[in-house]
Amino acid sequence: MLDSTFDTDQQILEQLAKSDVHAFDFLYEKYFSKLYGAVYKRLQNRELTEEVVQELFISLWERRTVLSISTTVEAYLFSSVKYLVIAQYKKNNLFEKYSNSLNPEANDDNFTEQVIAFDELNAAYQNALKLLPERCREVFLLKRTGLSQREISEKMDISEKTVENQMTKALKILREALSDYTVFVILGFGSTILF
C-alpha cells in the first residue's frame, strides 16, 4: 500500500537524499510494475527485465544523495530505464560478436589469450561467489536458474522482499569483487554468463 505522505516529487527526493527508506519504498511500490512492463515489452525476457529494473533501483539508492532531477521522478525513471535497456541490447550484441571470435577454427591468433582471460574471469567469479553470505548466495544461484522471486520465496520459505534484498546485496558484492574485470563486463560477460 502506497504511503500518501509524499505529495510532491520534491518531497520524495528530499527524503530520499536523507536516506529515508520509506521514500525509496514508496518509489519502488509506485513505479516497479510500470517499469517492469515497459522493459519486458522491449526485452521479452523475465529474468533480464527483473535485472534491469532492479539495477535501476539499486542505482537510484546508491546515487540518492547526488541526484539532480530536473523533470518529474516518473520521467526520470523511465528515461533511465530506457538507457539501461539500450545498454542491455549492446551487451548482448557485443557478447555474440565476442563469443563468435572465440571459435578456434577461425584461426584467431588471440584465441589462447582470450580463453585464458575468460578462465581468469570465471575463477574470479567463483571466488566472488564465496564472498556472499550463505542465504544471499543461495538466493542468487536460484535466481540464476531462472526461478522468479515468488518461486524462490516459496522454495526458501522467505518473503519476496527478502529475496529482492538478498539479490540486491549479492549483485552489489559481486560487482565490487569483480570491478577489476570491467572490460569483460562491458563485453557482455556480466549479464549473459556471470550475473
Question: Is 84 part of any domain?
Answer: yes
Q: How confident is the model at residue 112 (pLDDT cuts 50, 70, 90)?
A: low
The CA distance from 145 to 62, in Å, is 27
Number of domains into which the chain is organized: 2
Q: Which contacts (CB < 8 Å, 24+ apart) does range 115-118 have?
A: 117/184, 118/184, 118/189
Question: Is 65 part of any domain?
Answer: yes
Question: Is 97 part of any domain?
Answer: no
Top pLDDT among 6 and 76 is at 76
The CA distance from 89 to 96, in Å, is 11
Q: Which of 89, 111, 131 is the last residue of a domain?
A: 89
CB of 26 within 8 A of CB of 2? Answer: yes
Is the model's pTM score more than 0.85?
no
Domain membership of residue 67 as a residue range: 1-89
Q: Which of 59, 89, 119 is the last residue of a domain?
A: 89
Task: Tell whether 84 and 106 lie within a shared domain.
Answer: no
Task: Tell whether 71 and 108 lie within a shared domain.
Answer: no
Task: Tell whether 129 and 185 lie within a shared domain.
Answer: yes
Top pLDDT among 143 and 119 is at 143
Question: Is 71 part of any domain?
Answer: yes
Task: Tell whether 4 and 65 lie within a shared domain.
Answer: yes
Query: Could you tell me the CA-to-CA distances from 34 to 12, 91, 137 in Å, in that order?
Result: 18, 24, 29
pLDDT higher than threshold 50 for residue 125: yes
pLDDT digits (tens, 9 = 90+) for 79-95: 888 888 877 776 666 45
Cell of residue 65, nine digits? 544523495
Question: Shortest CA distance to 167 belongs to which of 190, 189, 144?
Answer: 144
CA dihedral 74, 76, 80, 82 (to 10 degrees): 60
Whichever domain contains 43, its CATH number is: 1.10.1740.10
Cell of residue 141, nine digits? 544461484
pLDDT, position 165: 92
Cell of residue 49, nine digits? 527485465
pLDDT, position 115: 55
Q: How confident is the model at residue 186 (pLDDT cuts 50, 70, 90)?
A: very low
Task: Give the three-class secondary structure for 159.
Answer: coil
Top pLDDT among 29 and 101 is at 29
The CA distance from 69 to 171, in Å, is 25
Whichever domain contains 124, its CATH number is: 1.10.10.10
Q: Which of 89, 115, 149 is the last residue of a domain?
A: 89
Task: Tell whether 83 and 18 lie within a shared domain.
Answer: yes
Task: Tell whether 73 and 127 lie within a shared domain.
Answer: no
Question: Is 95 part of any domain?
Answer: no
